[in-house]
A and B are shown apart, each in its own frame.
Chain A
Amino acid sequence: MILSDQEVHFFVNTIKNSSGYDFSEYSEKSLKRRLQKILIDNNSDLLGIINKIKTNKDFLEKTVKDITVNTTELFRDPQIWQTLKYRILPKFSENRNINIWHAGCSTGQEVYSMMILLNELGLFDKAKIFASDLNTDALDAAKKGNYKYRFNIGYLDNFDKVIKENPFNYEEYNDVPYSKYFKIDKVIDSIQMSDSLRQKPIFRQHDLVHGGDLYFAKFDLILCRNVIIYFKYSLQNKVFKLFHEHLYTNGYLVLGMHETMLGDITSRFDKQGQAYRKK
């Protein structure tokens, strides 16, 4: 079942006219793939889906959730976390507060990774954590902080790399037990984040397409990883401008391992690997 560009366009317009969601500046390739998956999962053709979207609000919300991609892992890409640990977060150690925004936090593994790292650096109490996503199901999962053990077992290696080891000094080893932050129960296949972590972040639904309307005025650090790969260049630029407005001078924006900033906006940042410092 191959969808044409017009059909995808028709779908996007229907969503737009029936709700506040606008996918018209999402990358075509993955949007088309997501839509194809929705048709297969619902065992329906496009017209069937369109009619249901128009008449059934719950189905519309569910479809919007199915369009978004929700991949996230504990300490995904340890190199970036090592950069945060050794180069970025120490810069804020003298601040009275550290405001951090996880834009597109999905099911929250990145948010918990950040809190664990902040705690190890002695910065947990002064940090304010704001985490947003378009998908309210993902946000609910993030608030619960409960993950499948078997899906996450591989990422405990990343925890070790970032929290226990020091890539600049192999003799250093901090034997931080996992139980300090989460409880592993193999029998019921669960990793449960501790209450002290769970209670900290402010989770809120937020759509980057619409920009504004944010809880904090400004941030020291914004993480937005593997989100903008689903956006067209034009929307990427809008989002970068939004981030720029909401960063303090010398604040950092951290993107995913294979994402990069293009265009005029780059002159307003100082690029340091995957981290962009606002000038």
Chain B
Amino acid sequence: MYKAVVIGGSAGSFQVITKILSSLPKNFPLPVLLCLHRLKHVRSGFVEALSIKSTIPIVEPYDKETIKPGKGYLAPSNYHMYVELNKRIALSTEEPVNHSRPSIDLTFETAAQAYRDKLIGIILSGANRDGAYGLKKLKHAGGLAIVQDPNECQVKTMTEASLKLTTVDHIFTTEQIINFLLNLK
């Protein structure tokens, strides 16, 4: 019944996200939208690093690319990644939001507008507050909100900020997130 998964992460999320992506079945039924902050000097090579472990193909999408199930879309370095209502990617170089470009808030908010209650949003480890507002918007639109267990996070600022702003559906460890995704029909 869900149509897409959107995942936001920052400091300390790389290992978690690779673990998730390496555990998904090849025929995972949903698209996975990824908005991950990266250090300024590792702008390239990130998508390759994710692809090595991932069972589903991961791309840094082109502007206006159609979102397809079973594929991962990584917000390109230095661009915001939006989801248009027609389920296409839109990229933007507008100013950073809360010092972030890509901004997790913007990816989550626009994905929520496009997928409404058919969206699963997951906030992972991170050292800032990006994503908290976006997860609130997602929950407001009827989506399912999941936050990584702060006790498991390398840096808990981001997950704690999300939990403060939104009553989420699940607080999950990495293992539980994976099990949850594997049980999606």
Query: B-contacting residues of A (Cβ < 8 Å)?
Result: 27-30, 33-34, 69, 71, 76, 79, 154, 157, 226, 228-230, 233, 257-260, 262
Mask, B88-129, CB within 8 Å of A = 1, is 001111110000000000000010000000000000000000
Find out whether the CB atom of A230 lies under 8 angstroms from the CB atom of B62.
no
Residues of chain B contacted by A259 (CB below 8 angstroms): 62-63, 91
> Is B28 an interface residue when CB atoms closer than 8 A count as contact?
no
Q: Residue of A at shortest CB range from B75?
A: A258
Instruction: Judge whether B76 and A229 touch: CB under 8 Å.
Output: no
| A65–B63 alpha-carbon span in the complex (Å) | 23
Q: How far is the CA of A28 from the CA of B93 in the complex (A)?
A: 15
Cα distance A29–B84 when bound, in Å? 7
- Ranked nearest first, the 8 interchain pairs of A and B with the lowest CB-CB distance are A71-B93, A229-B63, A260-B62, A226-B93, A29-B82, A30-B92, A29-B90, A229-B91
User: Is B94 touching A258 in the complex (CB atoms < 8 A)?
Assistant: no
CA distance A154 to B43 in the complex (A): 12
A30, B90: Cβ atoms closer than 8 Å: yes
Query: What would 7 A/B residue contacts be, using CB atoms closer than 8 Å?
Result: A29-B84, A29-B92, A30-B92, A79-B44, A229-B90, A258-B62, A260-B64
Residues on the B chain within 8 Å of A76, using CB:
78
B29 is an interface residue with CB less than 8 A from chain A: no
Please give me the residue from chain A that is nearest to B63 by CB atom. Answer: A229
B62 A30 Cβ-Cβ under 8 A: no
Contact between chains at B63 and A71 (CB < 8 Å): no
* A258/B90 contact (C-beta < 8 A), A28-B84, A229-B63 known: no
Q: How many A-B residue pairs have CB under 8 A?
A: 50
Contacts of A228 in B (CB 8 A): 63
Please list the residues of chain B having a beta carbon within 8 angstroms of any beta carbon in chain A: 40-41, 44, 60-65, 76, 78-79, 82, 84, 90-95, 110
A229 partner residues in chain B, CB cutoff 8 A: 63, 90-93
Q: A233-B64, A258-B60, A260-B63 are in contact. List 18 more A-B contacts (CB 8 A).
A: A29-B84, A29-B90, A29-B92, A30-B92, A33-B94, A71-B93, A157-B41, A229-B90, A229-B92, A258-B61, A258-B62, A258-B63, A258-B79, A258-B91, A259-B62, A259-B63, A260-B65, A262-B64
Q: Does A258 lie within 8 Å of B76, measured CB to CB?
A: yes
Interchain CA distance A228-B64 in the complex, whole Å: 10
Residues of A within 8 A of B84 (CB): 27-29
Most chain A CB inside 10 Å of its own CB: which residue of B63, B90, B94, B95: B63
Contacts of B44 in A (CB 8 A): 79
* Residue of B61, B64, B82, B93 touching A69 (CB-CB under 8 A): B93
Residues from chain A with a CB closer than 8 A to the CB of B82 are 29-30
Q: Please, which residues of chain A bring their CB within 8 A of the CB of B61?
A: 258
Q: Which of A27, A229, A258 has the most CB of B within 10 A?
A: A258
Give the chain A neighbours of B91 by CB distance below 8 A: 229, 258-259
- A226 (CB) vs chain B CBs: closest residue: B93
A131 to chain B, nearest CB (A): 18
Chain A residues with Cβ below 8 Å from B76 are: 257-258
Set B60, B64, B65, B94: member contacting A30, Cβ < 8 A: B94
